[in-house]
Amino acid sequence: MAVRKSLLSQLKGVWVPAIVIIVWEAVVRAGWVNPQVLPAPSAVLIKWYQYLMPLEAYDPTQGSRLAWYFSGELVRDLWESFYRVLLGFVIGAGLALPLGLLMGASKHIYDYMNPLIQVLRPIPPIAYIPLAILWFGLGNPPAVFLIALGAFFPVLMNTIVGVRAVDSIYIRAGKNLGAGSFLMFRKIIVPASMPYILSGVRIGIGTGFICMIVAEMIAVNNGLGYRILEAREYFWSDKIIAGMFSIGLLGLAIDTVVSRLNNYLLRWHRGLE
């Protein structure tokens, strides 16, 4: 009974997209819109498949079949984009986390750093593009710089707030059980602020993802962002849309992984019952 119910409610979610696709296909086939402006979903799907598959036929002398499957343009773009966003995020969050912990825990460090942070924080990472290209040229470095910047501030701000919000009763309990400052930090302050830190991580990776697409449109010549801009040059609107859906799916995949990680790390937390 329960299974049937959940299947039914999942089916509900299929209707609206199905209708949208059917109407869309019908509108294009009826010739009401120029297919150059809005290609039919079937055309997008065909292009998507071509974008996914390698251009040359499989040649056993060149390597395994699996390697051949992964040599298509879409797979390479996905990998490039994913690698870039991951590297940028790791650098940005990797710098923000220790700084945030220090700023949250020490009033001194907070007072020294806060004015600078408050001035830099409202500048959208996108505004760093000219400087990024000036400093790092073209290619991966400016892109990774922008992504790191996009991830940095959300993680930093949430970490500061998280550390400051640690209930003093945990600190007192820790002291009473004999914890010194290092253990207090590692075993009490960091885990207690984890809910805040992780919501910063989720926002940070989202911002990093946006920065990744923008950076690829401007400074890099591969990746999903570059590909849809390139497709525009050739008026391949079907490939633009296929690329957009690919971007969406990559974003969804990353968010799902982060959300799973979040649920695992916060399995002790009241809010997640």
Partner 1 sequence: MAEQAQIEIRHVSKVFKGSGQDVVALKDIDFNISEGQFVCLLGPSGCGKSTLLNAIAGFSLPSEGSVVVGGHEVVEPGPDRGMVFQEYALFPWMTVEENITFGLKIKKAEPHKIEEKLQQLLKTLKLTDFRRRFPKDLSGGMRQRVAIARVLALDPPIMLMDEPFGALDALTRRSLQDELLKIWSDLKKTVVFVTHSIEEAIYLADRIVVMSYRPGTVKKDVHVEIPRPRNPADPDFNNLKRELSQMVMAEQNRFEQATLGSTGD
Whether the CB-CB separation of 25 and 42 falls below 8 Å is answered with: yes
Question: Buried (b) or exposed (e) across 29-40, using 16+ Cβ within 10 A?
Answer: eeeeeeeeebbb
Which residue, chain included where needed, has tokens 């609107």?
A: 237
Q: Provide, rounded to whole angstroms, the least separation between the CB of residue 104 and partner 1.
A: 17
CA separation for the pair 266, 271 (Å, rounded): 9
With CA atoms as reference, report the closest residue to 75 among 264, 268, 246, 255: 246
Which residue, chain included where needed, has tokens 């984890």?
A: 194
Q: For partner 1, which is the closer residue by CB, 149 or 188?
A: 188
Total residues interacting with partner 1, rule: CB under 8 A? 21
Binding mask 156-195 for partner 1 (x = CB under 8 A): -------------xx-xx-xxxxxx--x---xx--xx-x-
Whether the CB-CB separation of 92 and 148 falls below 8 Å is answered with: yes
Site for partner 1 in 59-88 (CB under 8 A): none
CA separation for the pair 225, 213 (Å, rounded): 5
Binding mask 116-155 for partner 1 (x = CB under 8 A): ----------------------------------------
Q: Which listed range, 3-11, 36-44, 66-74, 263-271, lies at the site for partner 1 (CB under 8 A)?
A: 263-271
Sign of the CA dihedral running 137, 141, 143, 145: negative
Q: According to CB under 8 A, which one of 29, 121, 186, 269 is a site residue for partner 1?
A: 269
Under the binding rule (CB under 8 A), the answer on residue 199 touching partner 1 is no
Q: What six digits make up the tokens of 126?
A: 């996108």
Using left for φ > 0, alpha for ψ between -120 and 50, and beta otherwise, residue 179 falls in beta
Whether the CB-CB separation of 257 and 89 falls below 8 Å is answered with: no
Q: For partner 1, which is the closer residue by CB, 136 or 170?
A: 170
Q: Which listed range, 112-120, 141-149, 202-210, 262-270, lies at the site for partner 1 (CB under 8 A)?
A: 262-270
Q: Provide, rounded to whole angstroms, the least separation between the CB of residue 181 and partner 1.
A: 12
Q: For partner 1, which is the closer residue by CB, 194 or 201?
A: 194
Binding mask 21-60 for partner 1 (x = CB under 8 A): ----------------------------------------
Interface ranges with partner 1 (CB under 8 A): 169-170, 172-173, 175-180, 183, 187-188, 191-192, 194, 267-270, 273
